[in-house]
Amino acid sequence: MAKKQFQAESKRLLDMMIHSIYTQKEIFLRELISNSSDAIDKMYYKALSDDSLVFNQGDYFIKIKADKANRTLTISDTGIGMTQEELENNLGVIAKSGSLAFKNENELKDGHNIIGQFGVGFYSAFMVADVVTVTSRAFGSEEAFKWESEGADGYTIEPAHKDTVGTEIVLKIKPNTEDDQYDEYLDEYRLRSIIKKYSDFIRYPIKMDVTTQKAKEGTENEFEEVVEEQTINSMVPIWRKNKSELKDEDYENFYHEKRYGFDKPLSHIHIKADGAVVYNAILFIPENTPFDYYTKEYEKGLELYSNGVLIMNKCGDLLPDYFSFVKGMVDSEDLSLNISREMLQHDRQLKLIAKNIQSKIKSQLQTLLKDEREKYEKFYKSFGRQLKFGVYNDYGMHKEVLQDLLLFYSSKEKKLVTLDEYISRMPEEQKYIYYAAGESVERIEKLPQIEVVTDKGYEVLYLTDDIDEFAVKMIQSYKEKEFKSVSSGDLGLESDNDKEQSDSEENANKELFEAMQGVLAGKVSKVKASKRLKSHPVCLSTEGELTIEMEKILKSMPNGQDVQADKVLEINVNHEVFKSLKDAKDASNQEKLELYTNLLYNQALLIEGLPVSDPVEFTNNICKIMV
């Protein structure tokens, strides 16, 4: 029989699995049991929508069987099974979406992460087995097929015989090595504890033949070994258990069992609500950003159960977009089992639950921020961007909910701070919350515009994410203090005295500035004496709402908008360069005035990280003054 090849991506992943870097090989059992449970769920749904089908609870189970002599471990189920085509499509391709793009070699070495991101459940079998044989008969079919693979070099599919509908997976367990005792996966006691640990609350019985010692019939102290089929799992879902019975580890196992993520969740919330609406929920705040999180493909939502029975895999209506990173499930008795998606959207109970959940998540995040700052910062690194989008979206409707959860880098503290912390440190006379936007902390630190604010002893927030300034503009003011960009025309810093002085400077140089403005027509709306520059000769500031950073971001968007910030060229009249400008003007040397003006303007652009429009001319101009 011709061997079929796995898809190229799948092959790489499979290689990794086999030479597993994954430390906990035992999880393969959890993965296979979950698949079986899903397959039985599918039968259950079929029966829900098909009156001719009766779902007889007793007919549905998962069976684990170890055969030490033949070194095989068999996992079988009475689920929906797979057709030949499904075997091919489901088991021949890892990461069905084909989205398995290894970003770099480091990530490849860190197999844990990749495996985690794609939830390649079935393939984990190859961590403990040399050969995997899947025999399956699909519901509604008389035929069965056998899929077999020894790992990376492909698989075969051929017709087979199977009496009942369902799937049977036989693992040929690897021989022991120096590092790994694969024998343990044939040991009843060990298997039992793995099942208990990871799959205790699976809804269907997980049966296993267990050997026990029993007194021989008619005797009292003569024993014989009896093999008995036992159900290993308690089948009580974790969310129905008392919180006091559960350890962090149990929640973590649940998180992994459900494939909410493969990272260790940062925090969990177990809700048992019995007020206006009755429900149980377990929610998780993940640590890592899922690989597709900031893309259109990512789908938010919680699993929704009605009285212990799953009715929807991802109920999006339970989570606001700004908390879309939350994973978990909700179980409520108040929801009807046969409720359709459309009906759910209008369901009053569901709306109440969603509202309730939203406030629980917020308070959990606030608690983390308050009591476990390090953890919160980890969270913020992964999902802070989403919170900021949340502030900005829907015309700022949710800013009240979210603004206390934001963090920005502080010029003073040299770390992330909350707005509240900023306000609490503000000197009394400080009018605004100052911020500077730029590509990175390092770049912002060098911005000439910053000096005058930090020299006053004021703290400046550095906005380095492209969404930041938009979010801040949406908030407008926090605790009655308005936000102010250090690049804005009026910083609200000067005293009346300063003002008089700068006005007189302005008047004294009026003609010069007008001449320069003429040279830069269409590029800047004004040239003026700067009140903020200390050591630098020039900088740009803006008037109006749109700042230079925002202009950059809007221009770089896919459907790039042609927007222009209203720019002002500020000149440091105390800088030596200014004298040269003046001399050129006084000598009526128009050519020189133009040369200097253009050079200074281009310098200001470069400082802002904006492109100079004609780099060749710019460098030629520099040469001109050198010779």
Q: In what order do the strands lie in the sheet with 566-571?
A: 526-529, 566-571, 538-543
Asked if 83 interacts with ligand ADP (CB under 6 A), we say no
Instruction: Write the single-letter amino acid at 486.
Output: V
Asked if 119 interacts with ligand ADP (CB under 6 A), we say yes
Cβ atoms of 300 and 319 within 8 Å: the answer is yes
Name the 3-class secondary structure at 66: strand
DSSP structural state of residue 202: -
Asked if 90 interacts with ligand ADP (CB under 6 A), we say yes
Asked if 92 interacts with ligand ADP (CB under 6 A), we say no
Stretch that binds ligand ADP, among 80-88, 176-184, 506-514, 517-525 (CB under 6 A): 80-88
Choice between 172 and 582, CB closer to ligand ADP: 172
Using CA atoms of 76, 80, 83, 85 in order, give the dihedral in degrees to the nearest 10: -100
Least gap, CB of 153 to ligand ADP (angstroms): 19
For residue 330, list its beta bridge partners: 281, 304
Least gap, CB of 167 to ligand ADP (angstroms): 4
How far is it, in rounded angstroms, from Cα 151 to Cα 17? 9
Return the residue of 41, 77, 263, 466 that touches ligand ADP, per CB under 6 A: 77
How far is it, in rounded angstroms, from Cα 568 to Cα 385? 31
Cβ atoms of 43 and 139 within 8 Å: the answer is yes
Tell me which residue of 307, 333, 332 sits closest to 318, measured CA to CA.
Answer: 332
Choice between 119 and 316, CB closer to ligand ADP: 119
Stretch that binds ligand ADP, among 12-20, 113-121, 357-365, 553-561 (CB under 6 A): 113-121
| # chain residues binding ligand ADP, by CB under 6 A | 15
**Residue list 34-73, contact with ligand ADP (CB under 6 A):** 35-36, 39
How far is it, in rounded angstroms, from Cα 327 to Cα 319? 10
Nearest position to ligand ADP, beta carbon: 121
CA atoms within 13 A on the CB side of 438: 24
Asked if 121 interacts with ligand ADP (CB under 6 A), we say yes
Asked if 148 interacts with ligand ADP (CB under 6 A), we say no
Asked if 135 interacts with ligand ADP (CB under 6 A), we say no
Stretch that binds ligand ADP, among 32-40, 104-112, 492-500, 576-584 (CB under 6 A): 32-40
Query: Can you read off the two tokens belonging to residue 235?
Result: 């089948």
Name the 3-class secondary structure at 64: strand
Asked if 122 interacts with ligand ADP (CB under 6 A), we say yes
Least gap, CB of 79 to ligand ADP (angstroms): 5
The label of the residue with tokens 């499979």 reads 14
Asked if 141 interacts with ligand ADP (CB under 6 A), we say no
Choice between 80 and 540, CB closer to ligand ADP: 80
Residue 352: burial class (beta carbons within 10 Å; 0-12, 13-18, 19+): middle
Return the residue of 113, 167, 386, 411 that touches ligand ADP, per CB under 6 A: 167
For ligand ADP, the binding residues (CB under 6 A) are 31, 35-36, 39, 77, 79-82, 90, 119-122, 167
